[in-house]
């Protein structure tokens, strides 16, 4: 199964915003939603194509309430997420799965009072030793996101 993770903006309650709007509520109605991190929603789809289609359907809401939309597809990686743009490029066969891994955005994961939450990301390039260590602060874990060159340079 392909997973989608919506990382909400700090100033909004993501679930409340999405479910207060009929179109978004209808688009998400068939999915079982989880909240693995504070102000994040996760769901499962059947493929990268269905994940990117859902994100396209929700685009109006994503622009307003979501900082990041991520896709985790086992045909690419079991542990590293793809940015929305990179997932679309994989879906459209513009890039092969094996070519998606050099540029990364790494979020820190901190266990807080109300559960785990994602903290500020850092951009790194994969080295021969693997993913460089997250060093912006002490964290309990990391979430690795593969990004496009344009996203990496931004």
Q: Are 82 and 70 in contact (CB under 8 A)?
A: yes
Q: Which CATH architecture has domain 2-93?
A: 2-Layer Sandwich (3.30)
45 in Cβ contact with 1 (< 8 Å): yes
Beta strands in the chain (DSSP E): 2-8, 40-45, 66-72, 81-83, 103-112, 115-125, 141-146
Alpha helices in 21-110, H assignment, sequence order: 22-28, 48-57, 59-65, 84-91
pLDDT attached to residue 136? 96
Tens-place pLDDT, residues 72-83: 999 999 999 999
- Confidence (pLDDT) at 31: 97
| Comma-separated ranges of CATH 3.30.70 domains in the chain | 2-93
pTM across the whole model: 0.95
Helix (H, G, I), strand (E, B) or coil at 138: coil
């Amino acid at each position: 199964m392909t997973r989608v993770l919506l990382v909400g903006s700090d100033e909004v309650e993501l679930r409340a915003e999405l479910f207060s709007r009929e179109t978004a509520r209808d688009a998400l109605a068939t999915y079982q939603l989880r909240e693995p991190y504070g102000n994040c929603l996760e769901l499962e789809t059947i493929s990268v194509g269905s994940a990117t289609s859902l994100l396209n359907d929700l685009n109006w809401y994503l622009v307003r309430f979501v900082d990041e939309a991520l896709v985790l597809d086992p045909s690419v990686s079991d542990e590293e997420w793809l940015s929305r743009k990179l997932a679309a490029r994989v879906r459209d066969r513009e890039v092969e799965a094996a070519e998606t891994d050099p540029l990364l955005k790494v979020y820190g994961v901190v266990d807080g009072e109300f559960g785990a939450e994602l903290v500020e990301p850092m951009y790194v390039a994969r080295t021969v030793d693997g993913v460089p260590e997250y060093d912006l602060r002490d964290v309990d874990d990391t979430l690795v996101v593969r990004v496009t060159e344009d996203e990496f340079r931004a």
